[in-house]
Amino acid sequence: MSLSCRPEHYGDVRVLVVEDQKVLADRIAEGLRDQGMAVDIAYDGGAAMEIAAFTAYDVIVLDRDLPRVHGDAVCAHLVAGPATARILMLTAAAAVDDRVDGLNLGADDYLAKPFAFAELVARIRSLARRSPSRPPVAFCGDLAVDLARRRVSRAGRPVTLTRKEFGVLEVLLTADGGVVSAEELLEKVWDEHADPFSNTVSVTVSRLRRKLGSPPPIQTVVGSGYRLLDAP
């Protein structure tokens, strides 16, 4: 059985929310998780730089007025480093000069507080689609995954997936036929709050396999994880 998968990117959009107002940060994170995103939180600039140093994010939502390390310094640090995350700066200052300053630091977008949550979600998804690691469509055999429109089809037949099922399928595509452990799926599709001892991954993979139909494109590798196979 040959593999002809063309990998595209990891799972659902992974976001780091950097906001020192804990209630606001937690509400933003909860809302983004409801949108199917994997979200981590940092409550100050120093923590943000530490987390971003070892976790790859698609988008970093960065408040400008942060304790320990100011948001401007965090932005400059991230832009100068190897990370490819898009940066969306948040601030209570709505003056044009403030927006220009943030963009000159290397931020990709700017949103003034207070903001409509729907606009925040739309801007995050727009930035994630602009990431260099996220081409618009992924293929594997007769599977086609449209990342921009979040649509899946098999042999031309539309397949309706939940956000997490969609994310699992994308991670398996990225592996290009390699085995992906349940722990890796949990890390990439869910977030740091997911229970590592739950059967969430196996249940989601089972539903996904059933929806994709026969012959099953997802193979369970006992003791190791899962892999996506091309059509036989």
CATH number (domain holding residue 125): 3.40.50.2300
Point out the domain boundary residue: 72, 96, 129.
129
- How far is 51 from 15, CA to CA, in rounded Å? 11
Q: Give pLDDT tens digits for 181-232.
A: 988 888 888 866 666 667 889 999 999 999 999 888 899 998 899 998 874 4
Phi-psi region of 195 (alpha: psi -120 to 50; beta: other; left: phi over 0): beta
- Note whether 37 and 123 are same-domain residues: yes
Point out the domain boundary residue: 81, 111, 129.
129
**Residue linked to tokens 């036989």:** 232
- Whole-number pLDDT of residue 149: 66
Instruction: Band the pLDDT of 26: cuts 50, 70, 90.
Output: very high
5 inside domain: no
First to last CA, the chain: 6
**Residue linked to tokens 């100011």:** 70
Q: How many CA atoms lie within 13 A of 116 on its CB side?
A: 4
Position 30, amino acid: E
Point out the domain boundary residue: 129, 161, 182.
129
**Residue linked to tokens 């044009």:** 96
**DSSP assignments along 9-57, one per residue:** --SS-EEEEE-S-HHHHHHHHHHHHHTT-EEEEESSHHHHHHHHHHS--
125 inside domain: yes
Q: Give pLDDT tens digits for 37-86.
A: 889 999 999 999 999 988 888 899 999 989 999 999 999 898 888 778 89
164 inside domain: yes
Residues 141-166 have a mean pLDDT of: 82
Domain that holds residue 85: 14-129
Cβ–Cβ < 8 Å for 90, 138: no
Give the pTM. 0.56
- How far is 63 from 61, CA to CA, in rounded Å? 7
Give Cα 132 distance to the centre of its chain: 13
- Note whether 117 and 142 are same-domain residues: no
- Whole-number pLDDT of residue 4: 44
- Note whether 125 and 154 are same-domain residues: no
- How far is 46 from 202, CA to CA, in rounded Å? 36
What CATH number is attached to the domain comprising 186? Answer: 1.10.10.10
Token pair, residue 73, equals 């310094």
The total of structural domains in the chain comes to 2
- Whole-number pLDDT of residue 7: 39
In sequence order, the 6+-apart residues with CB closer than 8 A to the CB of 4 are 139, 140, 141, 230
- Note whether 150 and 92 are same-domain residues: no
- pLDDT, greater one: 205 or 173: 205
For residue 39, list its beta bridge partners: 15
- Note whether 19 and 98 are same-domain residues: yes
Q: How much is the mean pLDDT over the chain?
A: 82
Cβ–Cβ < 8 Å for 179, 157: no
Residues 130-148 have a mean pLDDT of: 69
- Note whether 108 and 141 are same-domain residues: no
- Note whether 141 and 118 are same-domain residues: no
